[in-house]
Amino acid sequence: MVYDDSSRSSQRTGGVKLNQVYPPPESDTITDVDVIAIHGLDTNSTTTWTWNWKDRDPEKRDVNWLKDPDMLPRRIRTARGIILIQALVIAAASGSGYSSLWEASGGVVFLATPFRGTAFREIASTAIKFLKGYGSLTDRVVTDLLSNLQESTPFLQDLVGSFTSICVQRRQRGRPCRLAIFYETETTNLLRKLWPPFMKNTRKGSRPLVDSGSARLDIVSDPIPLQRSHVLMNKFGGPEDPGYDAVSGKVEIIICEICQAGPIDKANAWIRNEQYSLKRLGIERLSGELLPMDRCYINLAIVERPRKQTGIFKEHNEMRRDSPFSLFSRLRVETFQKEIMLSTIFEPRETRNGQMRPSRILIRGRAGVGKTTLCKKIIYEFTHCKLWQDLFDCVFWVPLRNLKLEGRRQNLGYNLKSLFYHEYLTQHPEGEDLADKLWHALTDTKANKMLFVLDGLDEVLDLDDTMLHFLPTLLNQPNVIITSRPNANLPPDLDSIHLELETIGFHPAQVNAYIENAFTDLQTGDVDSAKMEEIQSFLNNHRIIQGLVRIPIQLDALCYSWDNSPGSYSTSIAMPDSMTAIYQRIEESLWRKDVVRLEIWNRNKAQIARRTELFNVVNHELECLGSLAFTGMLNNVINFEAKHRDAISEHCSHRDQRFLLDEMLERVSFVRSSDSSSKKRHQSYHFLHLTFQEYFAARYFAQQWKDQGKLKCIVFGHGEGKATTTDTVEFLRKNKYTPRYDIFWRFVAGLLNTEGTTRFFQAIEEEPRDLLGPVHQRLVMCCLSEVSKDMLLRKPLEGQLSQWLLFECELTSEPRLPSVTEFPVEILKNTLAQEHNSTLGLLDSLTYRKGSFGELTQTIAAYITDEDPRIKIVAFEALQGQPLTEQHIQSTIECVTGDKDWDVRVAAIEALRGQPLTEQHLQAIITCLTYDKNPRIRMAITACVTGDENPRIRKAITACVTGDKDWDVRKAAIDALRGQPLTEQLLQTIIICLTDSDPSIGGVAIAMLKTQPKLPRRLLTPLAGLLKHKSMIVKERAVEILRSQPNSEDLFQAVALYLEDIDWGVRTSAIETLKDRPELPDQLLRVVTKAEIAECRPALSGTFFLAVLADLKHNDSCVRDTALEALLDPPALPGGILQAIVILLEDEDWAVRTAALEALQNQPALPEGVYQAVGLLFLKEESESVREKAVELLVSLRDLSSISSIQIEIIYETLLKRSCRQYVSWKVEGGFSRIMIGDKEYLADWPDLLTSVVQEVQKRLGVPPHLDMRP
């Protein structure tokens, strides 16, 4: 029960009254401990514990944390106990008659109790006189207690001593009274209640009333500070208040110990309140403010990574096509239409292992996008908002980097008990015992109810032997969320991942919401609308920055720099639309903050200093950051551990050094430590975001380029880092086509001065050049986007881009150069105006282009009235998501309702998505949806208006679910209703559909059910009946629904009927139903040949390979293709299997040939016949995709010197076409050929005679010649 003390109201009666505030007196709730809340002087029980929202937010109700159902009653359901120490001393005295009161008191929580007197002592005598006069007027008595607050009087000293003594005696008897002390850190106006309002500020009086010195008992070693004033020490605004979290958490721990809770409950309470407190889960902004999770970051966008889809399982891709070369793609901030809310990631869904409830989830993401923030949010939602508490009893957040700590690596027997102790329980007096109990609970029965959030897999892939045995134990727990950087390789002994996701940046709407939060005063709730409008206007005028600020840390940096450098963006419209320009502004703003933290200047001097003065004074820090960043780029290192910093510090200049390297890194805003609670030596450091590392590395390179100096290259190895020097031009020649230097080079171009920029572009154009060309042109245009418009070499370089644009149009009919945002708009406008033969390809390419088109929109919109329907279609597709004028919207509506070409009408409908439509426009669309004879038009309209809240639109869509005669239209209508609750009326409709004789009706019902996470039982019987339906499509979909159901013998038998079905789609669906299910019956193994089945067995058996070999020779090409997929993962295949795969290189089905090449490419060693078979294959191959796979396999296997001239020509033409849409480069230097396909590099000898072969094929294809940029 929870009581509060009403002693003030009963003073005249001479007694003390306790009000029971929770549970209500009439409740029959069983309680086993009381919480008694006793207020202080000059207060009453009504107001003491109540937070008054009246002056802060009038719409909110006042909150009493003792009885609010979301606060203490929820946190401690059967609890009680806060008593004044004098009463306890009296009770403990021999013969007092109240000894049972003292013995029953299990704990005391002191909220700003003045054990040593208070700051009030300076005016106490005046206050006593005033209160005595006031008391005589109100018939009240001033007690001697007030005198004891003046200073630490002998009475107070004796009282504290006596209380300490009786507590020690209790502890010695094994029945301790648990104590907790809280003190304030904010100040109080001591005259507030003594003087009239106009006199409150006439004297000094603002200071902490009960500070850490006053609120201290010798037997409590760790008093806890609360960031609030004295009057608010016992008032909390809600469950999310960090002060409430700290106090109630301490109460919960004490009560857990009083009630002798079980070890698991004790451990959970400790972890929840000590490790997962709101303060620890706060997000630190660059300003240094700690913001609570629910105020700082909007929900992070999480998307499924694409997986292979074939046959009838391939669904329409609704995403706008993305260029793989765009800055948005490079930064992973594309907009995905199919996303997963954090709260739903454990719900049954289609995963990489089929339909199931995923329990093992991998989440990838770049630095700064929010992986660790996501971990904090998971812990916050579970601990404080009850997320997933029906699934898990405990959630353990483990920063995996801690496994590298020296003390842990030396523990040869490291296990989960060690982990629990080190991560959570080292400060608990029973820590080792509780860790042991947690470990045994996990290994005995609790594994399925415990979730591990394992943060930073990429940081521990280089663990040494002492930890290698433990990491798989942790990673292979049944319930895990693992975070990692995007390109990290997964350990070979990692169990199956059920669902792979990726964190991306904010949506545009979330960017706006974040900006509003950033410029909102947390105390008053007032929004700085002027700054909000300024920054949003700035973003609207800078396309590239629109992408950058979708990265959370970048947006925080922009908001901070805007808020703290008011003059920095005063000419924002004129500021270049480049990455470099915005990073320079952010850098300057952060240095103005950091020079104060570095104790170089005071705040005022930092704000008024000129830019040159600022950068001169931090020259040494700039040198260290540049060296750190560049060395990391060179070694592909992002997290800088102690060994990396040792090597860098050894080779850095130490002149003008103010701090040691680690001390400097602690004080600058551009890097962050892995764990601020660790010892500095054990911490690793990383830049705020990879782009900040690239920026500072480019800064270092640009400085050396300007000074014509040498680059210091520190190479990390097994020992200490070795340093060499290299020329900047030589470094550029070697790395200009390396993918991970893409953003680095554009920063270099932006940071160079005029003279340096000219030399830089001349060096880029020098040999060795990309033999193919597209990679080189993309490098040039991205660097051009960072330099001034009047740069001397811009005109010839843009002229070369124009030639390449026309060449791509002729070569592929689908050019990709214009899809990159940095491609000059003027070139596009001129080409569209002059080259009609290229118009179709150019417009199609623009469907890949991200961001606002600006003035290009008008040029494209002119084509929606073109006579050629193909031109109109691609024009509408390119305009999707672009703001259209009223005139263009009207023209689009006219196409929707009146164009003769159905494809044009569909494209026009899709272009209307998100456009502001009038009632007249909506009526025209509804008419088409209801009456148009073409089902494609009705289906497109349904998809277009999905999510529209207009009631007429929703009514028309609902009518389509069962009323439209076309299945595709019904499916589109169902998709439009996705996520809506299954009302009884809708359930009845679905049941009727399930048993309808028309197979398309049943299919519609199945499709609707696929959108629901859980199915009612009454639907399962008619659903099972569809397994025998005459329609193959309906049977296949029924099996898909059953994939979400748990394992059972009935399920196995029902699905097994379709493993030999005559329709391949049904067979495949049945196979996918069973994959990743443990303990499959042996008789099913023969036909279940998908690769995932291997993960259900401890090892690939001979029986498995025999089954696969038989299927490789099957008459059905789909069976052969499926068997090949099963062979993609094993590291080494038996010889018989390899020979069978080689034979399939001549299969009549192109999909089988492609799968055979993929299977061979993953093998460490291949039989001799492979080289000849692959060489012959691509000489006669007509399929471009097969030829590309064959070329990649061939260049990875053989020395190019032994390949014929004809084969070289085919290789060149194949790689050239592929390089237009993927990252492929080919560089020849020093007698060696270097072919880069993605991140893979293939090195081979290069005879001089092959150069002439390549030149001949270039001439035949019309490849534009290189520019001669020599001075």
858 domain residue, yes or no: no
Give yes or no: residues 447 and 592 share one domain: no
A 10 A CB-CB count for 962 gives 17
785 domain residue, yes or no: no
Give yes or no: residues 675 and 642 share one domain: yes
Final residue of a domain: which of 716, 732, 765? 765
pLDDT digits (tens, 9 = 90+) for 73-88: 777 655 433 335 666 7
270 domain residue, yes or no: no
Mean pLDDT of 1261-1268: 89
706 domain residue, yes or no: yes
Q: Which residues contact 53 (CB under 8 A, 6 or more apart)?
A: 60, 61, 62, 63, 237
- By the 8 A CB rule, do 1213 and 1227 touch? no
Rounded Cα distance, 699 and 705, in Å? 10
Q: Phi and psi at residue 30, in whole multiples of 5°?
A: -80, 130
Rounded Cα distance, 932 and 138, in Å? 85
Six token digits for residue 634 = 């060179």
Give CA 583 to chain center in angstroms: 22
A 10 A CB-CB count for 100 gives 9
pLDDT digits (tens, 9 = 90+) for 811-862: 887 788 888 888 998 899 888 887 667 888 888 888 888 777 888 888 999 9
Give CA 252 to chain center in angstroms: 32
180 domain residue, yes or no: yes
pLDDT digits (tens, 9 = 90+) for 1130-1157: 566 777 777 887 887 888 888 788 888 8
pLDDT digits (tens, 9 = 90+) for 336-386: 555 677 888 888 766 555 557 889 999 988 766 778 888 988 998 898 888
Mean pLDDT of 518-524: 76
Burial class from Cβ neighbours inside 10 Å (0-12, 13-18, 19+) for residue 26 reads exposed
What confidence tier does 917 reach under pLDDT thresholds 50, 70, 90?
Answer: confident
Give yes or no: residues 73 and 162 share one domain: yes
CATH of the domain at 342: 3.40.50
Give yes or no: residues 170 and 21 share one domain: yes
Torsion of CA 251, 252, 255, 259, to 10 degrees: 180
Q: What is the DSSP letter of 273?
A: I
Rounded Cα distance, 674 and 639, in Å? 9
Rounded Cα distance, 306 and 327, in Å? 20
Rounded Cα distance, 67 and 4, in Å? 10
Is 952's pLDDT higher than 90? no
Rounded Cα distance, 675 and 365, in Å? 19
Give yes or no: residues 242 and 300 share one domain: no
Rounded Cα distance, 1096 and 1101, in Å? 12
Final residue of a domain: which of 747, 765, 783? 765
Give yes or no: residues 588 and 669 share one domain: yes
6 domain residue, yes or no: yes
Is 578's pLDDT higher than 50? yes
- By the 8 A CB rule, do 776 and 769 touch? yes
pLDDT digits (tens, 9 = 90+) for 1040-1084: 666 655 555 555 556 666 666 665 555 666 666 665 554 555 455
Rounded Cα distance, 169 and 1072, in Å? 68
Give yes or no: residues 109 and 229 share one domain: yes
What confidence tier does 313 reach under pLDDT thresholds 50, 70, 90?
Answer: very low
pLDDT at residue number 726: 94
pLDDT digits (tens, 9 = 90+) for 641-655: 888 888 888 877 666
Mean pLDDT of 900-912: 90
Place of tokens 């359901």: 77
Is 894's pLDDT higher than 60? yes
pLDDT at residue number 1032: 59
User: CA geometry: angle at 387 spanning 381 and 390, to 5°?
Assistant: 155
Give yes or no: residues 295 and 433 share one domain: yes
Long-range contacts of 762-767 (CB under 8 A, 24+ apart): 762/793, 762/1269, 762/1270, 762/1271, 763/729, 763/732, 763/733, 764/732, 764/736, 765/1266, 765/1267, 765/1268, 765/1269, 766/733, 766/1269, 766/1270, 767/733, 767/1229
Six token digits for residue 738 = 């390396």
How many domains does the chain fold into? 3
- Full residue range of the structural domain in which residue 734 is found: 573-765
Rounded Cα distance, 338 and 982, in Å? 21
Rounded Cα distance, 752 and 55, in Å? 54
pLDDT at residue number 1244: 86
pLDDT at residue number 433: 92
Q: Which residues contact 1064 (CB under 8 A, 6 or more apart)?
A: 311, 1116, 1118, 1119
431 domain residue, yes or no: yes
Q: Phi and psi at residue 541, in whole multiples of 5°?
A: -100, 5
Give yes or no: residues 180 and 46 share one domain: yes
Is 294's pLDDT higher than 90? no
pLDDT at residue number 129: 60
808 domain residue, yes or no: no
pTM (2 decimals)? 0.74
Give yes or no: residues 718 and 753 share one domain: yes
pLDDT at residue number 1025: 61
Final residue of a domain: which of 490, 505, 520? 505
Helices 902-911, 886-898: inter-axial angle, 10-degree rounding: 150
Give yes or no: residues 246 and 287 share one domain: no
Six token digits for residue 443 = 């290994």
Higher-confidence position of 942 and 332: 942
Burial class from Cβ neighbours inside 10 Å (0-12, 13-18, 19+) for residue 346 reads buried
Phi-psi region of 1170 (alpha: psi -120 to 50; beta: other; left: phi over 0): alpha
Mean pLDDT of 983-1000: 62
Give yes or no: residues 413 and 497 share one domain: yes
pLDDT at residue number 875: 93
